[in-house]
């Protein structure tokens, strides 16, 4: 019996395979404090029991992205330990609120496989679901990741590429938010006068502030999520690798960008869905993240008068201010991301009406 987990290789996966991931995790106010200290997040609903209770929550819910990172972390030892690259996310939905004291577990199903033409690796598509201790689904999302083959002589599996939505429909949003008593929402405490109706499709918001990342910070964060991907932690081996440095977990960048976005989106209190996300370029310690957001869409939620949904595209950069430049620039062969761009995230978020 091999006792050490070497992780799965591309040929170890099959479509329809279901993997229950290890290490359930009780999320506590300790995790909430660390999350706050790592990102400086200031959204009032997650920051204060009193604010959350005034609008109908039993207490402050756990930040959506902390939930995402914990669920994601569980999948790493089984899905992406031998990954070459994390290629993308789609169809991510936050389905039920998570409160301190809840315990999260995760299950993934392989929903697609496509071997690369070089026979060295392939793309694995998984739908991962996070559950709380009652078996309630709190989150699901699809990600696809390029995974190495260990045995390149193994024949390619039948190619199955799942149909993935470009964006979730508004009626799929809001499961993690109880019906709110918006009379109790105080703009002054939340930090902004801007409500749902104040955001215009096409509007671009520069989040102004920046955050420099240190090695200790991203490692503390990534371990908090029990994410074990070696590239984040081992300077001895990474120093001899592709970049000569530890890579920062892409989710750390997402959380930094979300925290920076408070300056401009203070009332946008809930990430309801992740339509898609791309880690355009790696981030390393010592670099500074800035971010801007473009409003892609604004939709009411069917049957709800309390909150509306903004579809947002947040772009994060490294070592470049985000005042006014496009995410993509013309190149000889078409267009590509500006070299400073590290994250292109498309998500739905909720805001009081």
Site for its own copies in 5-34 (CB under 8 A): 5-6, 20, 22-26, 28-34
The crossing angle, in degrees rounded to 10, of helices 29-39 and 64-79 is 100
d(CA 107, CA 124): 15
For the CB of residue 51, give the shortest distance to its own copies in the complex, in Å: 5
d(CA 322, CA 208): 7
Is the CB of 114 or the CB of 290 nearer to its own copies?
Answer: 290
d(CA 313, CA 348): 9
Q: Looking at residues 120 to 149 of the shown chain, list those that interact with its own copies (rule: CB under 8 A).
A: 133
d(CA 243, CA 175): 41
The answer to whether 93 and 143 have CB atoms below 8 angstroms apart is no
Q: Is 296 in the site for its own copies (CB under 8 A)?
A: no
Is the CB of 71 or the CB of 123 nearer to its own copies?
Answer: 71
CA-only gyration radius of the chain, Å: 20
Stretch that binds its own copies, among 146-154, 170-178, 284-292, 331-339 (CB under 8 A): 284-292
Please give the DSSP secondary-structure letter assigned to residue 286.
T
Q: Is 1 in the site for its own copies (CB under 8 A)?
A: yes
Q: Looking at residues 66 to 95 of the shown chain, list those that interact with its own copies (rule: CB under 8 A).
A: 77
Is the CB of 116 or the CB of 263 nearer to its own copies?
Answer: 263
Question: Among candidates 50, 54, 309, which has minimal Cα distance to 180?
Answer: 54
Q: Is 342 in the site for its own copies (CB under 8 A)?
A: no
For the CB of residue 169, give the shortest distance to its own copies in the complex, in Å: 26
Stretch that binds its own copies, among 61-69, 116-124, 260-268, 308-316 (CB under 8 A): 260-268
Stretch that binds its own copies, among 109-117, 120-128, 138-146, 261-269 (CB under 8 A): 261-269
Q: Which of 9, 10, 13, 51 binds its own copies (CB under 8 A)?
A: 51
For the CB of residue 101, give the shortest distance to its own copies in the complex, in Å: 7
For the CB of residue 282, give the shortest distance to its own copies in the complex, in Å: 17
Is the CB of 33 or the CB of 152 nearer to its own copies?
Answer: 33
The count of residues interacting with its own copies (CB under 8 A) is 83
d(CA 244, CA 238): 6
The answer to whether 265 and 252 have CB atoms below 8 angstroms apart is no
Q: Using CA of residue 101, residue 141, residue 343, residue 205, what is the dihedral sign?
A: negative
Q: Looking at residues 157 to 216 of the shown chain, list those that interact with its own copies (rule: CB under 8 A).
A: 188-194, 198-199, 205-212, 214-216
3-state secondary structure of 198: helix
Question: Among candidates 352, 267, 279, 353, which has minimal Cα distance to 314?
Answer: 279
3-state secondary structure of 221: helix
Is the CB of 89 or the CB of 233 nearer to its own copies?
Answer: 233
Binding mask 209-248 for its own copies (x = CB under 8 A): xxxx-xxxx-xxxxxx-x-x-x--xxxxx--------x--
If you search the block for the tokens 């793309």, which residue do you land on?
123
């Amino acid at each position: 019996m091999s006792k050490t987990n070497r992780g799965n290789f591309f040929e170890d996966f099959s479509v329809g395979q279901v993997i229950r991931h290890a290490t359930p995790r009780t999320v506590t106010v300790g995790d909430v404090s660390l999350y706050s200290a790592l990102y400086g997040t200031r959204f009032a609903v997650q920051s204060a029991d009193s604010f959350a209770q005034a609008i109908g929550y039993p207490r402050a819910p756990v930040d959506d992205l902390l939930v995402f990172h914990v669920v994601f972390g569980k999948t790493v030892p089984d899905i992406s330990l031998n990954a070459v690259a994390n290629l993308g996310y789609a169809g991510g939905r936050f389905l039920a609120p998570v409160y301190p004291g809840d315990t999260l577990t995760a299950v993934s199903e392989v929903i697609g496989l496509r071997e690369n033409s070089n026979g060295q690796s392939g793309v694995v598509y998984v739908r991962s679901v996070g559950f709380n201790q009652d078996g309630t689904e709190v989150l699901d999302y699809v990600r696809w990741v390029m995974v190495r083959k260990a045995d390149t002589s193994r024949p390619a599996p039948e190619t199955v590429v799942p149909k993935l939505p470009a964006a979730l429909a508004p009626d799929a949003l809001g499961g993690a938010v109880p019906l709110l008593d918006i009379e109790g929402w105080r703009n002054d405490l939340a930090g902004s006068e801007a409500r749902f109706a104040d955001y215009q499709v096409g509007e671009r918001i520069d989040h102004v502030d920046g955050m420099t990342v240190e090695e200790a910070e991203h490692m503390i964060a990534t371990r908090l999520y029990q994410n074990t991907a070696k590239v984040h932690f081992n300077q001895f081996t990474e120093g001899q690798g592709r970049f000569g440095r530890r890579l920062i977990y892409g989710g750390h960048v997402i959380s930094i960008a979300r925290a920076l976005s408070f300056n401009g989106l203070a009332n946008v209190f809930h990430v309801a869905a992740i339509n898609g996300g791309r880690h355009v370029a790696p981030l390393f310690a010592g670099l500074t993240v800035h971010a801007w957001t473009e409003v892609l869409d604004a939709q009411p939620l069917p049957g709800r008068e309390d909150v509306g949904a903004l579809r947002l595209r947040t772009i994060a950069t490294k070592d470049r201010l985000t005042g006014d430049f496009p995410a993509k620039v013309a190149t000889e062969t078409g267009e590509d991301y500006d070299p400073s761009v590290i994250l292109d995230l498309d998500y739905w978020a909720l805001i009081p009406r």
